[in-house]
Structure 1
């Protein structure tokens, strides 16, 4: 049991980055945590962390050990889950990471219904548009938009990711029509900047049957999807983005779609969780609940309501 506790302490220190922060999580003091790590290092005859007055840095040996320890604890958890599977119900803490705009617009509104159906599941949500390593963070699952490639994960495609080009009628009345992509440089755009890379999301257009990336010169930039939509609805300019940003605006008539949607190859909305032999019931029920609710919204792995949206122009 002492070794097991030492391994749990080791993982906590790796996640929190300091003895003091780890002690707060473990309900002890920094000195006790430091001594536990020192004993573990002595047993292994390896240094797991470089220590300085300012910083705690994991060594290469520590990284290798961390990978093995995590795998062992996952196997142990799966074994315990299998033993309980005969009478297991959906219970426990479910840690979920969500994209900011998609999470707020799509997931948050349906959580009261999920909580009512599964009162024994405690949800812990985090929101981030940056890539999050859910294994390293100890999360149960994540939803990602765009393209996803991670061989350690099981991927469920929740829906295509259609890009729409939207504006208000008031903006068009003031600034003139946008009949084709040749008109793009004559208008002000509201564009999205990715926080993780600092790059601007390209503007897409169908040109001679191919999807081209364009770069209109007149634009203002935001790094928040909801701000993007709010500015567009305030007649500030034209914007292009994934379908889920526009559902409310198009339904209310505040926004109009200029062209048919574009679905870039490989793009979608995905649910991810680590590959494992036994999937906890809390993950299973959340996944099935989410798929059912999205279907009510007109979305599934191979279809999206955006394909039925009326638009003003054909691509030319």
Structure 2
């Protein structure tokens, strides 16, 4: 029996809390995963897992073995990466989850650059804003926008996004154009509620060092980015999408920026991964590439597109319009 392989399979089963999910993320038949665990328990002479119809529980021996195996594999991975990184390019499957807007309009149009540098990495990109369990779902890292709530995860800031406060001309014709923050008391917003908490997100405004968060009244709340922008275009209220998402509508006049002296604070973009997972070379190079990609696109910081810079990002927006906003 390959002990190191058995350790990796055991750890993945514990992380996923499922033989089936572990088999799927490892690319192995379920029967092979089951047999590996059975053989491991037989070789050790102890029961590592208590199996029920609904869940798996670690035994005391299983918890001790998990701690030791995790430490051993982490040390092996770190030693191997030290010797292989200089002479081998990263390889293997890399599963990343990210907001659809960032993925479709910024990352995917430039993904050929990443493949040209790292042809041996197979990317699996999940596009969406739903909360996920990185460990149980076997995701190597996620790209998230906004402040992070889960302190059990490690994060690296790789960029920032400028939002814009805007509304449709029809809405402004009916309700008037707000000139000050205080004027917003007489207005309504298209509210966006968090998939994680179910609560509406406040609109945020900044002028110099002063930041004001306002819980706006509204007649509709959504948790879908398409619907969020569409409601704004239909005159349902004031909204704060990412500027790069609505640039075509701002240029066409379908949406108008309001309160330009009180622009929303920039929202951080972070790459997030579990604490107990060794940051593999393939994750590291992908995150480095993302940081470089975001840095060279001024549109993400709220600037317009100068010349042909970010032309790859500009083309999908002009072809497809607005699909998703960058809220979580």
Q: 1:219 to 1:142 in 2, by over 3 A?
A: same
Deviations 1:220-279 (CA, angstroms, capped at 9, x unpaired): 111122321222123332112444543443355432221231217xx5112245679x96
Written as runs of structure 1 = structure 2, the 5 A alignment for 1:25-44 is 27-30=28-31, 33-34=33-34, 36-41=36-41
Find the counterpart in structure 2 of residue 108 from structure 1: 108
TM-score when scaled to structure 2?
0.73
CA distance in 2, matches of 1:29, 1:210: 56
Find the counterpart in structure 2 of residue 56 from structure 1: 55
CA distance in 2, matches of 1:253, 1:68: 61
Q: Deviation at 1:284?
A: 4.5
Q: 1:294 to 1:28 in 2, by over 3 A?
A: closer
CA distance in 1, matches of 2:27, 2:103: 30
**Equivalent residues of 1:175, 1:187 under 8 A apart:** yes
Q: 1:34 to 1:162 in 2, by over 3 A?
A: same
Q: Deviation at 1:131?
A: 5.0
CA distance in 2, matches of 1:292, 1:21: 33
**Equivalent residues of 1:233, 1:255 under 8 A apart:** yes
Q: Deviation at 1:198?
A: 0.9
Q: Structure 2: where are the runs of 5+ without partners?
A: 306-328
Written as runs of structure 1 = structure 2, the 5 A alignment for 1:213-292 is 213-259=213-259, 260-263=262-265, 267-273=267-273, 280-292=280-292
**Equivalent residues of 2:146, 2:269 under 8 A apart:** yes
Find the counterpart in structure 1 of residue 318 from structure 2: none
Find the counterpart in structure 1 of residue 72 from structure 2: 72
CA distance in 1, matches of 2:209, 2:247: 26
Q: Deviation at 1:156?
A: 3.0
CA distance in 2, matches of 1:232, 1:249: 11
- 1:238 aligned counterpart, secondary structure: coil
CA distance in 1, matches of 2:263, 2:220: 23
The count of residues paired between Structure 1 and Structure 2 equals 300
Q: Deviation at 1:195?
A: 1.1
- 1:235 aligned counterpart, secondary structure: coil
Q: Deviation at 1:189?
A: 1.6
TM-score when scaled to structure 1?
0.76
Q: 1:242 to 1:58 in 2, by over 3 A?
A: farther
Between Structure 1 and Structure 2, the one with more strand by share is 1
Q: Which moved more, 1:278-287 or 1:214-223?
A: 278-287
Q: 1:292 to 1:58 in 2, by over 3 A?
A: same
CA distance in 1, matches of 2:14, 2:127: 22
Establish whether residue 305 from structure 1 lines up as the match of residue 302 from structure 2: yes
Deviations 1:61-118 (CA, angstroms, capped at 9, x unpaired): 4466445433432332232222222321243322222133333332233224433454
Written as runs of structure 1 = structure 2, the 5 A alignment for 1:146-225 is 146-148=146-148, 150=151, 153=154, 155-159=156-160, 161-205=161-205, 210-225=210-225
Written as runs of structure 1 = structure 2, the 5 A alignment for 1:5-16 is 5-16=5-16
Q: Structure 1: where are the runs of 5+ without partners?
A: 309-316
- 1:240 aligned counterpart, secondary structure: coil
**Equivalent residues of 2:9, 2:36 under 8 A apart:** yes
**Equivalent residues of 1:158, 1:271 under 8 A apart:** no
- 1:239 aligned counterpart, secondary structure: coil
Written as runs of structure 1 = structure 2, the 5 A alignment for 1:80-159 is 80-130=80-130, 132=132, 134=134, 137-148=137-148, 150=151, 153=154, 155-159=156-160
**Equivalent residues of 1:185, 1:218 under 8 A apart:** no
**Equivalent residues of 1:88, 1:281 under 8 A apart:** no
CA distance in 2, matches of 1:163, 1:258: 12
